[in-house]
Amino acid sequence: MNNEKHLVLGTWKSLEEQLSSVRWLWPNMIVQNMLTMIVSYAGVGKSMLALQIASLFLNGGLWPDGKECFAHDTNVLWIEGESGQPINVPRALNMGLDLGRFETPLTDPFVDLNLSLPDHRRAIEDAMMDDAIGLGIVDSLSGVHSGDENSSEIRKDLKFLADLSKNADKPLIVLHHLKKLQSGSIVGEITQHDVRGSSAIIQFVRSMIALEKPSSQSDDLRLKTLKNNLAPISDLIGLRIMQNGAGFEYVDAPVPTKLIASKIDQAVEFLRRTLAADPIHSLELIKMARTEGISKSTLDRAKELIGVESVKEPEGWFWHFSQPSGPDMQASIYAIDDLDKTAV
């Protein structure tokens, strides 16, 4: 008689049962109790998309793919890490959202969250576990993580957020940036390789959605699933920011045009990123640009291209980005087929 005890192991049968019971906020896109990440280049509209998702969560309606979203009685926890309050509050008002249903982990809503601070972690955890909260949004990962994104240390913050979503049984959406465009880079379609920072970032995310601007000939955007461990990859979804800034309208998914980023494109991306919040003294801006390999002449051309204005203040000249959703960069981006005809 064999008296040896059999070690109890997990089985693929139990795995199948768990996968079949996965619950979604947005079917096949935003899972109920795991991390979802939205990635894009600076200035394309990640925060606006997050507000649109919050609006559907609070008020109900149709998701961009036509699936129904029911209104929820619970509120949204906005975990701010990029000092975006002066931008996002007017956007929410313009979208007709009830500001009282957007809560912050700390009593002072102007304080940015930092996951390296124990009291901030506890505040986020307590808020997410509160029955009044039904959805969490982190804007952004680089904002709440104080360390090096390329270090494995970021695993601790991602594990904290992933465990928090699981334990609270609530969706948690994390916004994250892509790598900076370098001269000669192919732009248009986003892949996992474009995600900024350590590969551990992708590891903890169960659903990753890219917000792309695939063509320089159109302002139309599209959503593309980069990763989904729990469901088939969804079809591409087209959308466009409304002219009045009150959210998105849904359009056919734009067709990508493979493009090459020139020095001008790098400078345009730099200006949009650095001037997104406040004007910056021209001399300081020129110094910052040089650290990224952008010359003053290239910066001046990019400034004119997207409508950056110079404003005289007592302390000197400041550059101000007056058109955050300004014209396309088509004058500075060339289709691959035309590279042999055009000098950058």
Instruction: Look at 322 and 305; give whichever has higher pLDDT.
Output: 305
Q: What is the pLDDT of residues 253-306, one digit of tens each?
A: 887 765 556 778 888 888 988 888 789 999 999 988 888 888 888 898 888 888
Q: Determine the pLDDT at residue 6.
A: 61
81 contacts 138 by C-beta, under 8 angstroms: yes
State the fold for domain 13-251. Answer: Rossmann fold (3.40.50)
pLDDT band at 145 (very low <50, low <70, confident <90, very high): very high
Q: Determine the pLDDT at residue 325.
A: 40
Q: Determine the pLDDT at residue 253.
A: 87
Average pLDDT of the residues in 29-43: 94
Q: Determine the pLDDT at residue 265.
A: 80
Instruction: Look at 151 and 189; give whichever has higher pLDDT.
Output: 151
What token pair was written down for 336? 């691959």
Is pLDDT at 94 greater than 80 in this prediction? Answer: yes
pLDDT band at 326 (very low <50, low <70, confident <90, very high): very low
Q: What is the pLDDT of residues 188-219, one digit of tens each?
A: 678 898 999 998 899 999 999 999 988 777 78
Q: HEC profile for the chain? A: CCCCCCCCCCCHHHHHHHHHCCCEEECCCEECCCEEEEEECCCCCHHHHHHHHHHHHHHCEECCCCCEECCCCCEEEEEECCCCHHHHHHHHHHCCCCHHHEECCCCCCCCCCCCCCHHHHHHHHHHHHCCCEEEEEEECHHHHCCCCCCCCCHHHHHHHHHHHHHHHCCCEEEEEEECCCCCCCEECCCCHHHECCCCHHHHCCCEEEEEECCCCCCCCEEEEEEEECCCCCCCCEEEEECCCCCCEEEECCCCCCCEECCHHHHHHHHHHHHCCCCCEEHHHHHHHHHHCCCCHHHHHHHHHHHCEEEEEECCEEEEEECCCCCCCCCCCCEEHHHCCCCCC
Mean pLDDT taken over the chain: 86
State the fold for domain 262-338. Answer: Arc Repressor Mutant, subunit A (1.10.10)
Q: Determine the pLDDT at residue 2.
A: 58
Percent share of the chain, pLDDT over 90? 55
Average pLDDT of the residues in 329-343: 34
Q: What is the pLDDT of residues 160-176, one digit of tens each?
A: 999 999 999 999 999 99
Average pLDDT of the residues in 22-38: 95
Average pLDDT of the residues in 3-15: 72
pTM of the predicted protein model? 0.74
Question: Going by C-beta distance under 8 Å and a sequence separation of 6 or more, which residues neighbour residue 43?
Answer: 269, 272, 273, 276, 324
Q: What is the pLDDT of residues 112-125, one digit of tens each?
A: 999 999 999 999 99
Is pLDDT at 338 greater than 50 in this prediction? Answer: no
Q: Determine the pLDDT at residue 321.
A: 82
pLDDT band at 343 (very low <50, low <70, confident <90, very high): very low
Q: Determine the pLDDT at residue 344.
A: 31
31 contacts 171 by C-beta, under 8 angstroms: yes
What token pair was written down for 204? 């903890």
Instruction: Look at 190 and 183; give whichever has higher pLDDT.
Output: 190
Is pLDDT at 33 greater than 80 in this prediction? Answer: yes
Is pLDDT at 50 greater than 90 in this prediction? Answer: yes
Percent share of the chain, pLDDT over 70? 86
Q: Determine the pLDDT at residue 78.
A: 98
Q: Determine the pLDDT at residue 122.
A: 98
Angle of CA points 85, 91, 93, to nearest 5°: 100
Angle of CA points 158, 160, 161, to nearest 5°: 65
Residue ranges per domain, the chain? 13-251, 262-338
Angle of CA points 204, 240, 216, to nearest 5°: 90
